[in-house]
Amino acid sequence: MGVENKTEMQIKNAREIKSSEITDKQTYLNRRLFMRGAALVATAAATGLLYRKLNPPPAEKPKGDRLVTVANPTSDSGAREGFTTNEKLTSIEDITNYNNFYEFSTDKQSVAYQSKGFVTKPWTAAVEGLVNKPTIFGLEELLKFPLEERVYRLRCVEGWSMVIPWVGFPLARLLEKVEPTAQAKYVAFQTLLDPKRMPNQSTGVLDWPYVEGLRLDEAMHPLTILATGLYGETLPPQDGAPIRLVVPWKYGFKSIKSIVRISLVAAEPPTTWNIQAPNEYGFYSNVNPSVPHPRWSQAREHRIGESSFISRDTLLFNGYAEQVAHLYEGMDLRKYF
């Protein structure tokens, strides 16, 4: 560019532009193509990342400590009492990546990630109320109860089910230790309340802390256990570490997780989902194919791990009728749903 042109409008006629200064057509088109390609790739990548962020794929398999002292139920007597089943086990990947645990997330696939690193040591569970010997149990003491493996079906109120090899001990063993008084008729359970460790408790999606309850005879039933592990390892956080209830003939939400308090009481205690929607979730919440949820049928279920093309019949009391039906003799199961 000449110095003499400085103050004038810098318009050159065609003759003054050196041919070397002209971007040749091919380069111009290449540049344009490149810019367009870059724009396409960049936006597609951004959209992809956004989609991944909003719809994350499931997390990997967690690592627990091996629980050593486990008595396996023999298949004959075990099956008769409902302690085991020869149905195909649900994989550990599915059991640990598909969880309803609203304290961490309302998205079943995010609970594993959100609960990662949940600290369960130290942990205590207070057993109190109408008992002769109220006791605060440390986790170590709870783990000293003789552990058994129990292979149970789990039926979620949402219409899916799993078969889970739990490790735990009958709740009855614990209750016997504290000696319930004659006035005790129900057992109330409570989950940890700590929004720092259970981040979703800072939202109002449920009334925290999560509370559940059983009638005393349900709580003393040999099928009712406190689980501390699954697949022979300590319970991962997303499945209710370090100790949770398992009541296999009731919908999954009755099996309260991460328990810190067990109270023996005289009257039917409040329960979280019943508080949330009394017409949808009753105190009993026994699995029952002929009592539909007000918004969906409970007649069939999808077994996790099976083909998406098939579903199976849901069984009364989740297939444990032989063991538990007597508890509800004479009761109208439609009224006491």
Alpha-carbon span 42 to 49, nearest angstrom: 11
Q: Is 31 in the site for other proteins (CB under 8 A)?
A: no
Structure tokens at 154: 């789990």
Stretch that binds other proteins, among 18-26, 137-145, 165-173, 292-300 (CB under 8 A): 292-300
The neighbour count for residue 265, using CB atoms within 10 Å, is 17
Q: Is 29 in the site for other proteins (CB under 8 A)?
A: no
Q: Are strands 300-303 and 160-170 parallel, antiparallel or unpaired?
A: parallel
Cα angle 168, 65, 73 (rounded to 5 degrees) comes to: 35
Q: How many chain residues bind other proteins (CB under 8 A)?
A: 38
Q: Is 266 in the site for other proteins (CB under 8 A)?
A: no
Stretch 50-69 residues interacting with other proteins (CB under 8 A): 51-52, 55, 57-58
Stretch 215-234 residues interacting with other proteins (CB under 8 A): none
When binding is defined by CB under 8 A, the residue of 126, 143, 172, 206 that contacts other proteins is 206
Give which of 184, 163, 161, 194 is closest to 263, Cα–Cα. 184
Q: Give the amino acid at 32.
A: R
Q: Is 47 in the site for other proteins (CB under 8 A)?
A: yes
Helix (H) or strand (E) holding 149: strand 147-155
Q: Mapped to the 3 state alphabet, what secondary structure does 274-319 carry?
A: HHHCCCCCCCCCECCCCCCECCECCCEEEECCCCCCCCEECCHHHH
Stretch that binds other proteins, among 19-27, 32-40, 218-226, 319-327 (CB under 8 A): 32-40
Q: Is 270 in the site for other proteins (CB under 8 A)?
A: no
When binding is defined by CB under 8 A, the residue of 109, 120, 135, 234 that contacts other proteins is 109
Q: Is 39 in the site for other proteins (CB under 8 A)?
A: yes
Q: Is 297 in the site for other proteins (CB under 8 A)?
A: yes
Stretch that binds other proteins, among 5-13, 62-70, 101-109, 113-121 (CB under 8 A): 101-109
Contacts with 215 (C-beta within 8 Å, 6 or more apart), sequence order: 185, 186, 187, 268, 327
Q: Is 94 in the site for other proteins (CB under 8 A)?
A: yes
Q: Is 251 in the site for other proteins (CB under 8 A)?
A: no
Output the smallest distance, CB 310 to other proteins, in A: 8
> What are the DSSP E strand ranges found in 26-116?
70-71
Q: Is 302 in the site for other proteins (CB under 8 A)?
A: yes
* Tokens 């735990």 sit on residue: 168
Bridge partners of 149, per DSSP, are 167
Cα angle 20, 30, 16 (rounded to 5 degrees) comes to: 20
Which residues in 49-68 are b (16+ Cβ under 10 Å) and which e?
eeeeeeeeeebeebebeebe
Q: Is 36 in the site for other proteins (CB under 8 A)?
A: yes
Stretch that binds other proteins, among 12-20, 211-219, 226-234, 305-313 (CB under 8 A): 305-313
Residues that bind other proteins (CB under 8 A): 36, 39-40, 43-44, 47-48, 51-52, 55, 57-58, 90, 93-94, 97-98, 102, 106, 108-109, 158, 160, 203, 205-206, 276-277, 292, 295-297, 302, 304-305, 308-310
